[in-house]
């Protein structure tokens, strides 16, 4: 049996009729960009996250950039980000003209370590971006305390964590502002690119609304030097459908994770740690010192895996200036992490097969 790492077509099958109806509604409306579907989605997503505002933009990267610009961060400002994040988090800081400061993650949780973050704070630090990597919310209460002590903004990169909760609050409502991606493979995915910023701050929301649309609130009046980063009606209509199923799909992802935890308990693999609904398993990531051999063995058996991420941002050619930075935990993780098939369409039989091959390889 061939098991792809991710079968997006299979993930979308249960929603096909609803998505087709939503697309028809858009065709009937004759509206294409920043229309009623976008407004309705922004309201529904803000309500879902438990914040006053959601602003739809063109991608997750743009959401991060416009979040930083909307908060008034400027050249010279330092922003602390985890060293083991997807490159987009770091690129956004650079694109906003700020300086990324990479924090080595906690080796156990693989998330920002509040103690290390505090050690990196300087007189120029303005913000910390907590990345809820793989779908698990960071230790926000400790990060909140560090940010409060030093007068920093606490921001979220929630691109992998739609629907994850801390206590009774959702990702997107855990800091001063949050950025989401709706890239098709995310837990809440469109049929193309999309993103959103969430915040409770009316002024920040108003500024991001201007920035995304040529710096304009009123036609032909450009208040700030904005960009074109708008969400379109088709994507918003699809996202409204998928938002209605997000909690169910996240429950499926958690059930898959719980089954893996049982099936792989004796393999010696380092399995993800989680607690209730703090994890929405955008990715199910195991760790092993023999990662490459495991991935190769699974591939021979027809099972797809992926690595998130094999090369940390400071080792990328684009960040040549950081090549000499030594971030031992991020570098170790890059050699050990392996993402197993775990999307909501994965059947129990498929999962049993993945586990069987993994057990045989160990």
Q: Residues with Cβ < 8 Å from 283, sequence gap 6 or more?
A: 134, 135, 160, 306, 308, 339, 342
Q: Does 60 bind ligand PLP (CB under 6 A)?
A: yes
Q: Does 183 bind ligand PLP (CB under 6 A)?
A: yes
Q: Of the two residues 249 and 358, which places its CB atom closer to ligand PLP in the complex?
A: 249
Q: Does 341 bind ligand PLP (CB under 6 A)?
A: no
Place of tokens 């190769």: 296
Distance, in Å, from the CA atom of 105 to the CA atom of 128, rounded to the nearest integer, reads 13
Scanning 113-121, 155-163, 210-218, 325-333 for contacts with ligand PLP by CB under 6 A, the matching segment is: 155-163
CA distance between the termini of the chain: 20
Distance, in Å, from the CA atom of 288 to the CA atom of 294, rounded to the nearest integer, reads 8
Q: Does 156 bind ligand PLP (CB under 6 A)?
A: no
Q: Of the two residues 67 and 159, which places its CB atom closer to ligand PLP in the complex?
A: 159
Scanning 32-40, 57-65, 204-212, 332-340 for contacts with ligand PLP by CB under 6 A, the matching segment is: 57-65
Q: Of the two residues 132 and 353, which places its CB atom closer to ligand PLP in the complex?
A: 132
Tell me the site size for ligand PLP, rule CB under 6 A.
Answer: 15
Distance, in Å, from the CA atom of 120 to the CA atom of 92, rounded to the nearest integer, reads 19
Residues 127 to 146: which contact ligand PLP by CB under 6 A?
131
| Nearest in space to 31 (alpha carbons), one of 238, 239, 233, 231 | 233
Q: Does 61 bind ligand PLP (CB under 6 A)?
A: yes
Q: Of the two residues 183 and 274, which places its CB atom closer to ligand PLP in the complex?
A: 183
Distance, in Å, from the CA atom of 95 to the CA atom of 344, rounded to the nearest integer, reads 34
Q: Does 213 bind ligand PLP (CB under 6 A)?
A: no
Longest dimension (CA), the chain: 66
Scanning 58-66, 94-102, 242-250, 297-305 for contacts with ligand PLP by CB under 6 A, the matching segment is: 58-66
Q: Where are any strands of DSSP class E within the chain?
A: 53-57, 78-82, 99-103, 125-131, 153-157, 165-166, 169-170, 177-181, 195-199, 216-218, 221-222, 284-287, 337-340
Q: Does 339 bind ligand PLP (CB under 6 A)?
A: no
Distance, in Å, from the CA atom of 232 to the CA atom of 52, rounded to the nearest integer, reads 21
- Closest residue by beta carbon to ligand PLP: 60
Scanning 55-63, 242-250, 264-272, 345-353 for contacts with ligand PLP by CB under 6 A, the matching segment is: 55-63
Q: Does 214 bind ligand PLP (CB under 6 A)?
A: no
Scanning 24-32, 83-91, 238-246, 339-347 for contacts with ligand PLP by CB under 6 A, the matching segment is: 83-91
Scanning 13-21, 84-92, 199-207, 253-261 for contacts with ligand PLP by CB under 6 A, the matching segment is: 84-92
Minimum CB distance to ligand PLP, residue 88 (Å): 3
| Nearest in space to 69 (alpha carbons), one of 99, 92, 102, 52 | 92
What's the order of all strands across the beta sheet hosting 99-103? Answer: 53-57, 195-199, 177-181, 153-157, 125-131, 78-82, 99-103
Instruction: Report the interface residues with ligand PLP, using CB under 6 A.
Output: 59-61, 85-86, 88-89, 131, 157, 159-160, 181, 183, 193, 195
């Amino acid at each position: 049996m061939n098991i792809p790492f991710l079968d997006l077509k299979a993930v979308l099958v249960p929603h096909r009729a609803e998505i087709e109806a939503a697309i028809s509604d858009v065709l009937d409306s004759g509206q294409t960009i920043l229309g009623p579907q976008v407004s309705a989605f922004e309201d529904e997503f803000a309500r879902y996250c438990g914040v006053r505002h959601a602003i739809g933009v063109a991608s997750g990267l743009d959401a991060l950039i416009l979040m930083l610009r909307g908060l008034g961060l400027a050249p010279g400002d330092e922003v602390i980000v985890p060293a083991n994040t997807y490159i987009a988090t770091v690129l956004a800081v650079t694109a906003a003209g700020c300086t990324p400061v990479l924090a080595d993650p906690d080796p156990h949780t693989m998330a920002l370590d509040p103690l290390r973050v505090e050690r990196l704070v300087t007189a120029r630090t303005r913000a910390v971006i907590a990345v809820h990597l793989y779908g698990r919310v960071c230790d926000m209460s400790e990060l909140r305390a560090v940010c409060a002590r030093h007068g920093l903004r606490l921001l979220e990169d929630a691109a992998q964590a739609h629907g994850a909760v801390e206590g009774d609050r959702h990702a997107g409502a855990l800091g001063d502002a949050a950025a989401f991606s709706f890239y098709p493979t995310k837990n809440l995915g469109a049929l193309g690119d999309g993103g959103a910023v969430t915040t409770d701050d009316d002024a920040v929301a108003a500024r991001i609304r201007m920035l995304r649309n040529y710096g304009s609130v009123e036609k032909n009046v450009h208040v700030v030097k904005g960009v074109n980063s708008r969400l379109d009606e088709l994507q918003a209509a699809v996202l409204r459908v998928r938002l209605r199923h997000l909690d169910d799909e996240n429950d499926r992802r958690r059930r898959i994770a719980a089954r893996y935890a049982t099936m792989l308990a004796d393999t010696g693999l380092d399995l993800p740690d989680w607690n209730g609904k703090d994890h929405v398993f955008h990715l199910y990531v195991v760790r092993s010192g023999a990662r490459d051999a495991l991935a190769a063995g699974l591939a021979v058996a027809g099972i797809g895996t992926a690595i998130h991420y094999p090369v940390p941002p400071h080792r990328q050619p684009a960040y040549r200036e950081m090549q000499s930075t030594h971030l031992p935990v991020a570098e170790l993780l890059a050699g050990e992490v392996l993402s197993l098939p775990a999307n909501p369409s994965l059947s129990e039989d498929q999962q049993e097969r993945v586990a069987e091959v993994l057990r045989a390889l160990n």
